[in-house]
C-alpha cells in the first residue's frame, strides 16, 4: 500500500520538474519581469537596470531558474503589476471564491450523477436509460460556455431570477446574510457546472452496473437465494462505485481548472476570472503563477485518484 | 431495402456464400439507415458545412467589413439585413456564414493535424513497445497535465505575429493526446496477431508493417476520431475566440458573434447579434457528435444496430 503511494509520488517528481521548466521558459518569453509591479512612470531607466541587476535578472538562465523555483517553493511569485500586491495574496483571496464554487458543484455533481448512473444501469434500454444517455450525450457534445451563456441570458438578464455578477452582494450583512448571498450567487453557475460534469460518472457507473450484473459472484448470490434488493445494493452497486470513487481526484481538479469560462461569463471573482483579467492587463507574474498552480493541482488530482484507487481496489497495488 | 434485395439475388443465383460479411461503406450506410436520428444529424451537418462553404463565396466581403452607422443594431429584416446589424452596422447574417466557414476550416485543419500526430505517435508507441512506448507515453502524460486553455491564451498573447496558423498549431499542440492514446490501444490489440508476426518473420521493414499493414486494419478509427476531434476543435476555437483570444477582431467568427452576449443591454435588446451564432454552434456540435457516435457504432461490430 505505502509502497504504491511512494512509488507514485516519486513518479510525480520528473513531471513537476518538466512543468516548472516549461512554465519558466514561457515566463521568460513574456515581456516584463516579476518587478514590473514596482515600476511606475517616475522610475528612471537606470533605476530599472539597477533593480534588475540586484534581482539577478542578468544572471545566466540556469541560475535564474533555480532561484525562481526556490522562490516559488516559498510561495513568492513576485508582485502583481495590476493590483500592486504579492501575487500569492491575490491568488489566495480569489482561490477561496473558486473553492466555494467548486465544493458546491462537486457535491451537486455526485448528487445528480450517482442516482442517474444507477437508474441508467439498472433499467438498461428503458426510456429512463435512453433519456439519461441523451442528456449525457448533450453535456459532452456542446461546449459548456454555450449553456452558461444561454442560462445567464434567460435566468439572469431576461427573468432576473439570479444575480449576473459577483460572489457576494454589497448589501449583505451579518454571517447569515453574507452566507445566503454567497449561496445565491453560486447557485446558477454551480448548478450548470455540475450539470456539465456528470457525464463521466454516469457512464462509469452505468457500464459498471451492466458488467457486474453478469459476474459469477452475482449469479452465486442469486442462486443462494439472496433477495434481489440485497444483491443489487451489496454486490453489484458496491463494486460499480469503485471507479467513481477513484475518479474523485480528477473531478476536483477538473472543476478547479474548468472554471475559466464559468467565472468569466458569470463575472464570478475566482481564479479563472483572475487569470482572464491578468491576461487582459498583461499581468505576467499572475499568469505564470496561475499556470504553475493549475498544473500542480492536476498532478495532485491524478495522485489522489491513484491513491484512492489503490485503497479501494487491492488488485492494482504494486508490492 | 436495397440491401435486402441484393442479398436475395445472391441466394437465388445459387451463390455458395450464404451471408457476405458487410464491409466498409456498406456498414456505415446500413448503420445510418437503421438510425433515423443519425441520418438527420448527418444531413444537418452536411447542410451547415455546405451552406457555410458555398454560401461564403456569394457574400460580398464588404458586408462584413464595412462599418455603417446607419445599420448599427439594425433590426432583422430591415435594410436588407436578414439577421440585422451588429455594433458597427455589419451584416450579422454575412458574418454568421463566413464565421462558420472560418470555424469549420480551422476545425478540419486541427482535426487533420491531430490525426497525423495521433497516428504517428500511437503507431510508434504501440508497435515498438518497451522503452519507446514508455518515453512517448510519459510525454503524452505530461501534455495531459498542462492547463490547455490557459497556455493557449498565454501563447496567443505573447506571440508577436499572431495568425490563424498559430491558432491552429496551438489547438493541435494541446489536443492530440487522447487521439494518440486511442491509436496506441488499437495497435496493441493488433500487434501480436499472426499477420504482423508473419510479416516480421519474412523480413518486411518496420515502416511498411506499420503504415501499410497495421494502419489499414485500424483505419475504421480514423473516420470516427476525425469527426469527433473536429467537433471538439470547433468548440475550442469558438471558446477561445469568445474569450477574445482566438481569431483576430476583424475576422468574422462565430466566437466573436457569441461574445456580443457580454452585457445586459445587448443580451436583452439585440438578441439577433448573438443568439443565432450560439444556436448554430449548439446545433453543429450536436449533429457532428451524433454522426461521430453513429460512425463509432458502425466501426464496432458489437454495437451495430443493423
CB contact under 8 A, B154 and A22: no
Give the closest of A22, A149, A275 to B150, CB-based.
Answer: A275
Q: What is the pLDDT of residue A202?
A: 93
- Other Cβ atoms less than 10 A from the Cβ of A86: the count is 18
Question: What's the pLDDT score for residue A113?
Answer: 94
Q: Which of A264-268, B25-29, B270-274: highest mean pLDDT?
A: A264-268
Note the pLDDT tens digit of each residue in B76-85.
Answer: 777 667 777 7
pLDDT band at residue B1 using 50, 70 and 90 as cut-offs:
very low
pLDDT at residue A308, as a whole number: 84
B44: helix, coil or strand?
helix
Beta carbons of B150 and A146 less than 8 Å apart: no
- Would you list which residues of chain A are within 8 Å, Cβ to Cβ, of chain B? 14-15, 18-19, 22, 26, 29-31, 137-138, 140-143, 145-146, 149-150, 152-153, 157-158, 164, 257, 260-261, 264, 275-276, 279-280, 282, 287, 290-291, 294-295, 298-299, 302
- B33-64 pLDDT, tens per residue? 888 889 999 999 999 999 999 988 888 777 77
pLDDT at site A134: 93
pLDDT at residue number A39? 64
Nearest CA in chain B to A13: B142
Which residues lie below 8 Å from residue A165, measured CB to CB, with a gap of 6+? A266, A267, A268
Percent of chain B with pLDDT over 90: 45
Q: What is the structure's pLDDT at A36?
A: 60
* Lowest mean per-residue pLDDT among A55-59, A226-230, B144-148: A55-59
What average pLDDT does chain B have? Answer: 85
pLDDT band at A127 (very low <50, low <70, confident <90, very high): very high
- State pLDDT tens for residues A175-195: 888 888 888 999 999 999 999
pLDDT at residue A53, as a whole number: 74
Best to test chain B binding among A145, A162, A275 (most B CBs inside 10 Å): A145
Query: Can you give the pLDDT at residue A259?
Result: 78
Contacts of B145 in chain A (CB under 8 A): 15, 19, 295, 298-299, 302
Out of A129-143, A249-263, B225-239, B289-303, pick the least confident.
A249-263
Helix spans in chain B (H): 2-12, 24-34, 36-55, 62-65, 92-128, 130-145, 148-158, 164-173, 177-190, 194-201, 206-208, 215-217, 220-243, 254-258, 264-269, 271-299
B68 against A201, higher pLDDT: A201
Whole-number pLDDT of residue B20: 58
Site of grid cell 537606470: A46
Task: Assign B272 a pLDDT band (cuts: 50, 70, 90).
Answer: confident
For residue B306, pLDDT over 60 is answered with no
CA distance A268 to A183: 12
Can you give the pLDDT at residue A316?
A: 66
Cβ contact, residue pair B285, A141, below 8 Å: yes
Rounded to the nearest integer, the mean pLDDT of chain A is 85
Query: CA-CA distance, B175 to A263, in Å (whole number)?
Result: 23
- Cβ-defined contact of B155 to A15 (cutoff 8 Å): no
Classify burial at A249, counting beta carbons within 10 Å of its beta carbon; exposed 0-12, middle 13-18, buried 19 or more.
buried
- Average pLDDT, stretch A228-253? 84
Domain positions in chain A are: 6-73, 88-280
Of A31, A153, A295, the CB nearest to B146: A295
Q: How far is A314 from chain B (nearest CA, A)?
A: 24
pLDDT for A193 equals 92
Highest averaged pLDDT of the listed ranges A11-20, A37-46, A141-150, A162-171: A141-150
Q: What is the DSSP letter of B262?
A: T
Note whether B154 contacts A141, CB cutoff 8 Å: no
**Averaged over A13-40, what is the pLDDT?**
78
On the question of pLDDT at A208 being above 80, the answer is: yes
pLDDT at position B2 is: 46
Residue B220 confidence (pLDDT)? 83
* Chain A residues within an 8 Å CB radius of B147: 257, 291, 294-295, 298
ipTM of the shown complex: 0.86
Interchain CB distance below 8 Å, B268 and A302: no
Whole-angstrom distance, CA of residue A202 vs CA of residue A16 = 32
Read off the pTM.
Answer: 0.87
Q: Give the closest-approach CA distance of B209 to chain A in angstroms.
A: 33
Q: What value does the mean pLDDT take over residues A54-74?
A: 80
CB-CB under 8 Å, A145 with B289: no
Domain limits of chain B? 24-61+81-304
Q: B305 to chain A nearest CA, in Å?
A: 13
- pLDDT band for B305, please (50, 70, 90 cuts): low
User: What backbone phi and psi angles, to 5 degrees, belong to A44?
Assistant: -85, 165
Helix, strand, coil fractions of chain A, as percent rounded to 5: 75, 0, 25
Q: What's the mean pLDDT in A28-38?
A: 67
Q: Among A15-24, A25-34, A203-212, B206-215, which is the least confidently predicted range?
A: A25-34
Whether residue A291 and residue B289 make contact (CB cut-off 8 A), yes or no, is no
CB contact under 8 A, A26 and B151: yes
A256: pLDDT strictly greater than 80: no
Which residue from B142, B231, B242 is facing A141, i.e. has the nearest CB?
B231
Q: What superfamily in CATH does domain A88-280 come from?
A: MetI-like (1.10.3720.10)
Of B2-11, B232-241, B296-305, which has the strongest mean pLDDT? Answer: B232-241
Contact A140 B285 (CB under 8 A): no
Ranges B6-15, B114-123, B199-208, most confident: B114-123
Report the chain A residue with the minimal C-alpha distance to residue B293.
A137
Q: What is the pLDDT of residue B14?
A: 56
Mutate to test the interface with B, among A138, A146, A275 (most CBs of B within 10 A): A146
The DSSP code for B251 is: S
Domain B24-61+81-304 has CATH 3.30.56.10: no
Asked if residue A56 has pLDDT above 80, the reply is no
Chain B residues bordering chain A (beta-carbon distance below 8 Å): 138, 141-142, 144-147, 149-151, 153-155, 157-158, 231, 235-236, 238-239, 242-245, 258, 261, 264, 267-268, 271, 274, 278, 281-282, 285-286, 288-290, 293
Question: Which residues, 6 or more positions from A301, have their beta carbon under 8 angstroms from its beta carbon?
Answer: A249, A250, A252, A253, A254
Q: Grid cell 500526430 — which residue?
A: B117
Out of A19, A142, A295, the one facing B285 most closely (by C-beta) is A142
Contact A149 B141 (CB under 8 A): no
Q: How far apart are CA A298 and CA A314, in angstroms?
A: 24
pLDDT of the residue at B44: 95
Q: Which residue of A has its CA nearest to B158?
A: A30
Cell of A240: 460499480
Count of alpha carbons within 13 Å of B49, Cβ hemisphere only? 18
- Taking CB atoms and an 8 Å limit, are B151 and A291 in contact across chains? yes
Amino acid at each position: 500500500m505505502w509502497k504504491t503511494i511512494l512509488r507514485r509520488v516519486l513518479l510525480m517528481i520528473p513531471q513537476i520538474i518538466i512543468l516548472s521548466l516549461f512554465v519558466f521558459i514561457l515566463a521568460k518569453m513574456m515581456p516584463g519581469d516579476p518587478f514590473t509591479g514596482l515600476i511606475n512612470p517616475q522610475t528612471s531607466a537606470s533605476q530599472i537596470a539597477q533593480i534588475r541587476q540586484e534581482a539577478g535578472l542578468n544572471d545566466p538562465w540556469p541560475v535564474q531558474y533555480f532561484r525562481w523555483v526556490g522562490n516559488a517553493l516559498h510561495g513568492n511569485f513576485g508582485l502583481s503589476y495590476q493590483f500592486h500586491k504579492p501575487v500569492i495574496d491575490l491568488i489566495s483571496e480569489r482561490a477561496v471564491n473558486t473553492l466555494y464554487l467548486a465544493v458546491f458543484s462537486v457535491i451537486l455533481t455526485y448528487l445528480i450523477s450517482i442516482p442517474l448512473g444507477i437508474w441508467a444501469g439498472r433499467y438498461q434500454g428503458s426510456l429512463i436509460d435512453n433519456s439519461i444517455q441523451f442528456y449525457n450525450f448533450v453535456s459532452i457534445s456542446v461546449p459548456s460556455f454555450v449553456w452558461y451563456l444561454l442560462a445567464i441570458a434567460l435566468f439572469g438578464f431576461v427573468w432576473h431570477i439570479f444575480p449576473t455578477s459577483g460572489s457576494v452582494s454589497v448589501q449583505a450583512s451579518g454571517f447569515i446574510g453574507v452566507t445566503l448571498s454567497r449561496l445565491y450567487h453560486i447557485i446558477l453557475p454551480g448548478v450548470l457546472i455540475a450539470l456539465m460534469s456528470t457525464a463521466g460518472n454516469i457512464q462509469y457507473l452505468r457500464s459498471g452496473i451492466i458488467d457486474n450484473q453478469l459476474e459469477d459472484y452475482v449469479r452465486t448470490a442469486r442462486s443462494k437465494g439472496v433477495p434481489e434488493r440485497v444483491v443489487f445494493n451489496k454486490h453489484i452497486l458496491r463494486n460499480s462505485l469503485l471507479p467513481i470513487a477513484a475518479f474523485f481526484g480528477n473531478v476536483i481538479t477538473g472543476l478547479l481548472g474548468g472554471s475559466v469560462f464559468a467565472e468569466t461569463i458569470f463575472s464570478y471573482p475566482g481564479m479563472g476570472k483572475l487569470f482572464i483579467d491578468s491576461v487582459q492587463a498583461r499581468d505576467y507574474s499572475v499568469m505564470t503563477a496561475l499556470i504553475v498552480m493549475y498544473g500542480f493541482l492536476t498532478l495532485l488530482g491524478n495522485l489522489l485518484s491513484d491513491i484512492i484507487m489503490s485503497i479501494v481496489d487491492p488488485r492494482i497495488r504494486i508490492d | 431495402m436495397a440491401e435486402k434485395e441484393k442479398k436475395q439475388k445472391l441466394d437465388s443465383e445459387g451463390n455458395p456464400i450464404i451471408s457476405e460479411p458487410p464491409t466498409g461503406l456498406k456498414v456505415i450506410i446500413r448503420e445510418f439507415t437503421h438510425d433515423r436520428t443519425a441520418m438527420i444529424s448527418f444531413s444537418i451537418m452536411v447542410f451547415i458545412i455546405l451552406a457555410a462553404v458555398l454560401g461564403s463565396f456569394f457574400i460580398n466581403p464588404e458586408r462584413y467589413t464595412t462599418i455603417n452607422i446607419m445599420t448599427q443594431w439594425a433590426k432583422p429584416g430591415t435594410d436588407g439585413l436578414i439577421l440585422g446589424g451588429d455594433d458597427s452596422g455589419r451584416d450579422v447574417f454575412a458574418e454568421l456564414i463566413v464565421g462558420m466557414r472560418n470555424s469549420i476550416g480551422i476545425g478540419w485543419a486541427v482535426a487533420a493535424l491531430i490525426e497525423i500526430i495521433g497516428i504517428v505517435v500511437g503507431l510508434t508507441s504501440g508497435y515498438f513497445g518497451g522503452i519507446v512506448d514508455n518515453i512517448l507515453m510519459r510525454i503524452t502524460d505530461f501534455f495531459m497535465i498542462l492547463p490547455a486553455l490557459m497556455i493557449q491564451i498565454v501563447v496567443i498573447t505573447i506571440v508577436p505575429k499572431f495568425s490563424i496558423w498559430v491558432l491552429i498549431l496551438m489547438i493541435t499542440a494541446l489536443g492530440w493526446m487522447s487521439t494518440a492514446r486511442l491509436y496506441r490501444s488499437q495497435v496493441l490489440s493488433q500487434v501480436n496477431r499472426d499477420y504482423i508476426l508473419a510479416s516480421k518473420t519474412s523480413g518486411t521493414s518496420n515502416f511498411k508493417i506499420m503504415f501499410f499493414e497495421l494502419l489499414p486494419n485500424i483505419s475504421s478509427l480514423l473516420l470516427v476520431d476525425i469527426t469527433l476531434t473536429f467537433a471538439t476543435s470547433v468548440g475550442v476555437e469558438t471558446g477561445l475566440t469568445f474569450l477574445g483570444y482566438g481569431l483576430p477582431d476583424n475576422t468574422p467568427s462565430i466566437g466573436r458573434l457569441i461574445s456580443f452576449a457580454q452585457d445586459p443591454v445587448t443580451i436583452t435588446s439585440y438578441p439577433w447579434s448573438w443568439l443565432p451564432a450560439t444556436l448554430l454552434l449548439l446545433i453543429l456540435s450536436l449533429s457532428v457528435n451524433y454522426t461521430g457516435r453513429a460512425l463509432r457504432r458502425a466501426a464496432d461490430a458489437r454495437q451495430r444496430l443493423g
